Amino acid sequence: MAAKLKKGDKVIVLAGKDKGKKGEITTVLPSKGKAIVEGVNIAIRHTRASQGDQGGRKPIAVPVDLSNLALLDANGKATRVGFKMDGDKKVRFAKTTGDVI
């Protein structure tokens, strides 16, 4: 199945501790059905100091399930994603407005 959310998409979190937060997808993990969104689902990673960098408590973004994310349309509202043929190309479109993404 084609990926409905891609790297660089602006999304909103629908469920979980960060419900309502908005951010941009930095990485998609299609095999796990998850994505990493900047500023969302932050965990503290305790790292030991090594020769290249300083140790300490570092915040990292943890993957969020794709089912808990919704794409933001041009109006800033959550929308579902559909596919349609535009000539010979398959394109994504927002179900709420019908605009091609």
Given 1.20.58.110, 2.40.37.10, 2.30.30.30, 3.40.50.300, which CATH number is that of 10-94? 2.30.30.30
What is the residue-level pLDDT of the chain in tens, covering all 101 positions? Answer: 567 999 999 999 999 999 999 999 999 999 999 999 999 999 999 999 999 889 999 999 999 999 999 999 988 899 999 999 999 999 999 999 888 98
Say if CB 40 and CB 18 are below 8 A apart: yes
For the chain, give every domain's residue range: 10-94
0.75 surpassed by pTM? yes
Burial of residue 9 (number of CB atoms within 10 Å: 0-12, 13-18, 19+): buried
